[in-house]
Amino acid sequence: MRPASSRSRRVRPWTFAPQLLESRLLMAPLPAGPIREVSGVMRSAPAGSLARVDWAESASQGAVSARIGLGNDESAHSFARSDPRDLTFFDYDADGTWTYDDVSGWRRINAANPEVIVATPDRGAYVGYGPHGVWGWDEVRGWWKLNDVGPESMAFAGGVLFLDYGARGLWSWEQTAGWAKLDAEDPARLFASDAALLVDFPDSGLKSWDPSAGYRAVSPLRPQSVSGVGGSFYLDFGAAGLWLRRLFEPARPWEKLSAYDAEAIAARSGDVTIDFGWGGVWRWSEGAGFAKLDDRNAVMLAIGQQGAFLGFLEDGLYLLTDSGVRKKLNDAIPAEVVASLAATDAWLDYVQYGLWRWTLDGLRELKEIPPRAIARTPKAPAPHAPGLV
């Protein structure tokens, strides 16, 4: 994996009081320089909605901000949710927050330095800007501020944003319900699927949230790694083995899948791909159980709509499809592959060799410098979608 960022977290005194602020500001803060403002009406919004756009442009750096007011908000949001294009967000440190899709290409949506980004299914994102607070963004409303204080980490699941505020505990924020404090303990890690959440606490162990059961304790034990889809979470407990917990079926007991210690796991709907080190790469699926995919030790594992991305020392990067086709993508193994269960492509971080993107058309470089972090739109997974076979 890529070495951890050298940027240290700022320690600052403040009184924490979550609140929904009414400010609507894009480019927070706007770069210094002469500001030119114009107003207009945007008619490219969905039928039935009319948007007024107030623009502010910084002449010194060419940055643009906008405040958008919609006459039919639900119509516009339905349009955003139904957009089939996958939108990917990039943290480029001091160069700001960027997005990419196949139609618009690269766009810098904020010049400020992000600390944490999570994407949402409606082609939006929540971004923590440290001392500049935590903000939401989508293509309909632009930017809006949730809180003056940025979190240490965030996760999005089931339409709810979860925020780790360190010693001030775990909080949730939802569009209609607003803020709620879930736990006073400092979380160690957040593991989100598209519909539920697991939280690892140093002292109290593992807790979960899902829309039906809410927030509750799950286990006093702490996993080494977790991967989940929907309400099904696969947990690697090291020497205690690999387990499955179905949060949407609380009456069902924990299911032990293997007594062996997994080195990496990656889940899809109905199955999980596991690297058992020198025991090889396996897939476990509901009903069928275990099937061996490769005898070798994979040093890199990621799962996407097209199958499993596997990196092997001295042999390179491969894609193993559901039909069993093993396709070599590159002789070199990237530091990270960021794939999606809802899209056919994958982003590859080759560190000093840049940021690359794999699609069904092949592999190509898109930027010479890779980002610090990548966040992808978590649309509903499609585990057996057509594509490369």
pLDDT of the residue at 69? 40
Predicted local confidence at residue 379, as pLDDT = 55
Which tops the pLDDT comparison, 27 or 173? 173
Section 238-247 average pLDDT: 97
Least confident of 5-14, 129-138, 349-358: 5-14
Q: Name the 3-class secondary structure at 142.
A: strand
Residue 120's CB is within 10 A of a number of other CB atoms, namely 22
pLDDT at position 53 over 90: no
Q: Are 207 and 198 in contact (CB under 8 A)?
A: yes
What are 367's strand-pairing partners? 355
Instruction: Report residue 79: phi and psi, to 5°.
Output: -60, -45
- The predicted pLDDT at position 377 comes to 77
Question: Does the bond joining 34 to the residue before it have cis omega, within 30 degrees of 0?
Answer: no
Q: Which pLDDT score is estimated for 310?
A: 98
For residues 36 and 89, which has the higher predicted lDDT (pLDDT)?
Answer: 89
Side-chain-side CA neighbours of 28 within 13 Å: the count stands at 25
pTM to 2 decimal places:
0.79
Instruction: Determine the pLDDT at residue 38.
Output: 31
Q: How confident is the model at residue 14 (pLDDT cuts 50, 70, 90)?
A: very low
The pLDDT of 294-316, averaged and rounded, is 96
Measuring CA to CA, which residue among 225, 229, 198, 248 is closest to residue 342?
Answer: 229
Looking at residue 143, its amino acid is W
Cβ atoms 10, 127 nearer than 8 A: no
Q: Are 297 and 275 in contact (CB under 8 A)?
A: yes
* Cα 141 → chain centroid: 20
